[in-house]
Amino acid sequence: MKRQLAVVFFTIAVLAASALAQQPYKPSGALKAQENAQTPRRQLERRAPIPHLLPTGTALRFRLERPLSTSRNRVGDKFSGTVTEAVVIEGQTLVPIGAHVAGHIEHKSQPRRIHGHPSLRLHVEKLMMPSGQTLWINATVVDSATPRRIKVSENGNITGPSISHSQKVETVALTGAGAVTGAVVAGPVGAVAGAAAGAGAAAGHYMVKRPALELPAGTVLILELNTPINLANLEMASSRER
């Protein structure tokens, strides 16, 4: 009898051990905390991005409110523009349409005669929200909405057209006209002198009619942030004012 009871208890123990082995492993609270601590930090940062942060490289498209020109403006002249596309990150509109950017002309190049490209470099200083809050920013103009007409170099120089093909044709025409006139008046010797006179007239013509970079009001430029901007401080200030 005792032997039969022992066999029954042994069978029950084996079945219980088998059932426990088939159940999924559930770590305790301490082990869970340890596993979370070993989760890579970069993965946690991707899951929880910093709210209200405009990261480095954020692009802002803005429209010039007033025209700029290498022939009329000087270094130090102010400019301003209106943001034309909202900046939306993680479903939040951080920079709305209608915000403003402002700054001044940092560099100007106006080539002499028919050589070189006219250029402007803009120093962007401020981002002004429709609420009236202003942020000092570090940004560079990197492109335009019409890159075939207005180009931007890597250092932020906005360049316009050089002397056009039609202007070059005018220069050759003036020189040729001088040569023909000289030949009619004084023969071959006069042709040489007439060509020189025509070339001089052409040079004088382009000393007055030299190319200029014209950025009319409404020109759309694109800037990128060189440093990140945290907009949380703006929200805190706005809530205190209310």
Q: What does the alpha-carbon distance between residue 144 and residue 159 come to, in Å, rounded to a whole number?
A: 11
State the average pLDDT over residues 222-237. 80
Least Cα distance to 145 among 76, 56, 81 occurs for 81
Indicate the domain borders of the chain: 53-160+213-236, 163-210
CB of 77 within 8 A of CB of 97?
A: no
Rounded to a whole number of angstroms, the distance between the first and last alpha carbons of the chain is 88
Confidence of residue 52 (pLDDT cuts 50, 70, 90): confident
Give the model's pLDDT for residue 222.
Answer: 98
175 vs 140, higher pLDDT: 140
CATH number for domain 53-160+213-236, candidates 2.40.128.260, 3.40.50.12500, 1.10.150.130, 3.20.20.70: 2.40.128.260
Taking only the tens place, the pLDDT of each residue in 180-207 is 444 444 555 545 455 455 545 544 444 4
Q: What is the mean pLDDT of the chain?
A: 74
212 vs 178, higher pLDDT: 212
Q: Where are the beta strands (DSSP E) in 73-154?
A: 78-83, 87-89, 92-95, 100-109, 119-128, 134-144, 151-152
State the average pLDDT over residues 9-19. 61
Give the model's pLDDT for residue 116.
Answer: 73
State the average pLDDT over residues 125-141. 94
Q: What is the pTM of this model?
A: 0.61
State the average pLDDT over residues 156-173. 62
Is 237's pLDDT higher than 80? no
Q: What does the alpha-carbon distance between residue 137 and residue 129 come to, in Å, rounded to a whole number?
A: 13
